[in-house]
Amino acid sequence: MIKILFLCTGNSCRSQMAEGWCRFLKGDVIEAYSAGIEKHGLNPYAVRVMKEKGVDISGQRSKRLSELPETEFDYVVTVCGNAKEHCPFFPARVKVVHAGFEDPPRLAETASNEEEKLDCYRRVRDEIRHFVEGLPESLRGKKEKEKMKEEVNSGNDRKMTNIFERYLTLWVGLCIVGGIVLGKLAPGLATRLDNMSVFVQGAPVVSIPIAICLFFMMYPIMVKIDFASVIQAGKSGKPVWLTLFINWGIKPFTMYAIALLFLGFLFRGLIGAEAVDLVKIPFGLDLPIGAYHGAGTVVLHDGVKMLQIPLWRSYFAGCILLGIAPCTAMVLVWGYLARGNDGLTLVMVAINSLSMLVLYGILGGFLLGVGRLPVPWQALFLSIVIYVALPLTAGYFSRRWIIAAKGREWFDTRFLYFLTPVTIFALLTTLVLLFSFKGETIIANPLTILWIAIPLFLQTLFIFALGYGLAKLLKLKYKDAAPAAMIGASNHFEVAIATSTMLFGLSSGASLATVVGVLIEVPVMLMLVRICLKTRHWFQR
């Protein structure tokens, strides 16, 4: 007899109905089993609608794959997208086939009464029956279809993704070098591109070329999100509270301590104990020449009043501005590459974006010790709109329109196939642009870059380790633990650069420190993505 395993997320509904139909209709030729990546319990509505057709599955039980007796399956049929994505490895002789069916409980969420809810289950029940009636012949045809998809998706899309992920550090390094060389050889081009920005109070807040790249980097991720899962993810309190605690209760203060230790003590002599920096006088202050303000002195420079402060303090200020800006855009890329829960990541991004509007200025003013820190509200609003809201809106509506017009299978197998490389190329193009803008600064200060990079690097590792460790203690699933840890480790460098420019000036040491944040952000976060993927077996699946 042919042995078939039906695999889904929780082994509560679709896989149970498939097993029931298979035993009822094909019991003489097929030995059927069902299991889940997790165990959610047998759905009573599934039992009820199957009984309407004379199939009793009330004796079946929900079980994980590990609970099945050791069996040599001929086929494994994944009946939902999550099971397909997280399907365990089976011996090469086992043919794994995807036959996706919609989730009845999710369909039933919009039902207004009991009968409408049952109709949702009946519809999927009948679709599964139609599929089972064609077994085992339909599996062979389905497998051929899957093989053709593999040649396109796995042979091209997956091959491209594997090459990208395997050599991503190399691609990043080449783009960084390429950007710096471009800025050096064609400074006029880099300057013109850099000037294509949205300005607020004379400071460039949003670079239009980078905003375009970030849109195309974010959109493919947003359009893949099943937005119904966002609502469910929002109910996952532990990872949301964990990221809020790390981002606002721990991270700003550890950044302060680590930056002060290295820049104020260990590296102070290397930076120059007597070296000074000229920064803008804080907004609203009209101080006379020679007056003291904090650790600085008011001086006249080229006819403009400036505040002269120790250079290390300027670098220290830039580190603080990075440390209090949790990432709200790029973390979607890191979570995606780490195969995390995109819906939950989106929820955490939204919550952190809103909390940043309130807490960024308060913590910045307290930690910098410069009095009231003027938060660039316009910069924050524009950043959130461009880097999160715009691709989110476009992804939501285009996903609905495409699935309605072309169907879910066309969306999954054709549209996403052509869209997948877009995120990759947009990320690499963003790196070239960023470093073409700031390459001159980096070349002029190579050792200074190192002194600033070390505390930023250690801070990132510490925050990631803390978040990842707490996620393990809280018994989070891997797909929730990875983005929860990385959203704190990553920084919103666009906002930090804009803030340092407004507060201290574009040529200040603080602005240079935020540029160093850009320099180490991608390589370090990619390293953490690799760590997550290597250690995902530590967590529940």
How far is 503 from 368, CA to CA, in rounded Å? 11
Angle between helix axes 227-234 and 342-368 (nearest 10 degrees) is: 60
How far is 153 from 159, CA to CA, in rounded Å? 8
| 327 is annotated as an active-site residue | no
Tokens of 465: 């380790």
| 80 is annotated as an active-site residue | yes
- CA angle 484/488/490 to nearest 5° reads 115
Dihedral over Cα of 395, 396, 397, 399: its sign: positive
Catalytic residue, candidates 13, 22, 80, 213: 80
Strands 197-200 and 95-98: unpaired
DSSP letters along 157-171, please?
A: IIHHHHHHHHTHHHH
CA distances 299 to 52, 276, 303, 305, 395, Å, are: 87, 12, 10, 6, 51
| 13 is annotated as an active-site residue | no
With CA atoms as reference, report the closest residue to 435 among 419, 449, 451, 455: 449
Q: Give the DSSP H or E segment for 7.
A: strand 2-8
Tokens of 216: 């195309």
Q: Give the DSSP H or E segment for 84.
A: helix 81-85
Those residues whose C-beta lies under 8 Å from the C-beta of residue 303, and which sit 6 or more positions away, are none
User: Helix or strand or coil: residue 539?
Assistant: coil
User: Per residue, what are the HEC states of 393-441?
Assistant: HHHHHHHHHHHHHHCHHHHHHHHHHHHHHHHHHHHHHHHHHHHHHHHHH
User: Per residue, what are the HEC states of 40-78?
Assistant: CCCCHHHHHHHHHCCCCCCCCCCCEHHHCCCCCCCEEEE
Instruction: Tell me which residue has tokens 């109910």.
Output: 235
With CA atoms as reference, report the closest residue to 342 among 461, 239, 424: 239
CA atoms lying within 13 Å on the CB side of residue 77 = 29
Amino acid at 23: R
Check: CB of residue 527 under 8 Å from CB of residue 461. no
Strands 296-301 and 203-207: unpaired
How far is 184 from 173, CA to CA, in rounded Å? 17
Catalytic residue, candidates 8, 120, 175, 532: 8
Catalytic residues: 8, 80, 87
